[in-house]
Structure formats: structure tokens, C-alpha cells
Amino acid sequence: MRLTNTLRSPPLCEETFRYRAPGHPRSERQPTTNREMTGMTGRSALAAIGLCAVTATACAPDAAPASSDEPLSGAVPPPAPCTAEQLTATLREESPGAGQRYATLTLTNDNAQTCTVNGFGDLRLTDDDGKALPTDSWRTPDPPPAEVRLEPGQAAHRRLHWTVVPAPDEPATGPCQQAPARLEVIPPDRWGTVAVPWSFGPVCQHGWLGGGAYAS
């Protein structure tokens, strides 16, 4: 029985399969195309086609792995920055230096949801009526900004520094500035304010007040 050209092997077989009929010497050129394989026995040709099918399957590219960037179903989003409504503020005076004053500002998460504080926020001194007083809010890189995760009841702290030494254009005797009644604290990445009473007297150098970032 002889195969005709109606029995065609896969293209991969034409490129990779080299059939050597029994009894043919190794030096003799072997058939490499469907036309040259016409002289094969039916059983040999079918075996060759089966081998090509196995080879093609083995050489097929693996399925692409699932992307690791796909979000996990049911993943909990990270907590948002704390809003002013979630926080309460307190001030605790620290030991003074020569003409220098210090206090620790504490923001406590007074809400049932976890939130974060990251950075410096802003500060504003006001009088009893909420009118803004001169405030020169400044920042120092120690400690640097870092995210502080606040579970309900947890707090972040910022050390504040100001001076009672008047600037050249401030009164040399008497108060250098009007004594503030409150400090309004603006949390990082937010716009609302948290008010805390101020009982430490005037802030000289036109309200020069600041410090490092919030830390746990």
C-alpha cells in the first residue's frame, strides 16, 4: 500500500522530521517533504505523523501565567488619611531653653475607623474669636515624614518649637505679639482644622512655630 499526496503531514513535520526507511544507508539523502514520503509504507507514515503531532504538542508554548498585578477579590483598601472630624488634639508643654519654648502636639484618632497621618500638616494661631494671628509655620526634616497608622484610640505626636525672643521689628519690651487663644491644627493631606487651647503666651518672630513631622 502506498500513500498519495492527499495524506499531508503538519508543516512542523516538514521542517523537523527526517525519516530513514529500513535498509537505507545513513549517507543516502532521506525524504523530507510530503512528496518524497509518498513511498513510505502506510504504517510508517502514520507513525511519522503521530510523532510530529506529539512533537508539536511538546513544543507548544506554555500558557501565560496569571498576572500578579490583578487585584485580589475581596481585598481591603488601605486606610485613608485622617480627617479633622476623626481627630482630637492636645498640647503638652516641655522644658524650655534659653528663649526657646517646646510642646508636644498629639493627634488622637477618636473615630471607630482606622486612618493615617503622614507628614506635617499646618498650624494657625487664632484669638478668642477665631481671627487668625501672625503665624509663620515652618518644618524641619527631623523626624522625616512617615506614615503613622492610627487604629481607634491611637495617637501621633509632633514636637513644636517657638521662641519668645522678639524680632528686630517687634516690641523689645512687653508682648512681642498678641497672645493666641487657640492653635488650629490642619492634619496632613486635609483641609479641616482641629482646635486646641493655647496657654503658652505670645509666639515671637511673627508667630514662628513649627517642628518635624508626626511620629508614633
In sequence order, what E strands does the chain have?
Answer: 87-93, 100-109, 115-117, 122-126, 136-139, 148-150, 155-163, 182-186, 194-197, 208-211
pTM of the model: 0.66
CB 111 within 8 A of CB 147: no
113 and 147 in one domain? Answer: yes
Residue 42 lies in a domain: yes
Calculate the average pLDDT of the chain. 78
pLDDT digits (tens, 9 = 90+) for 33-80: 444 434 444 444 434 444 434 344 444 444 444 444 554 557 889 999
Q: Which of 11, 1, 211 is nearest to 102 (CA)?
A: 211
Q: Which three cell numbers stand for residue 46?
A: 502514520
Tell the residue number behind the cell numbers 512542523, with chain if given.
12
In which domain, by residue range, is 181 found?
Answer: 84-211
With 0-12 / 13-18 / 19 or more C-beta atoms within 10 angstroms meaning exposed / middle / buried, residue 95 is exposed
191 vs 198, residue with greater confidence? 198
Residue 79 lies in a domain: no
Q: How many domains does the chain have?
A: 2
Residue 172 lies in a domain: yes
Q: Mean pLDDT throughout 115-136?
A: 98
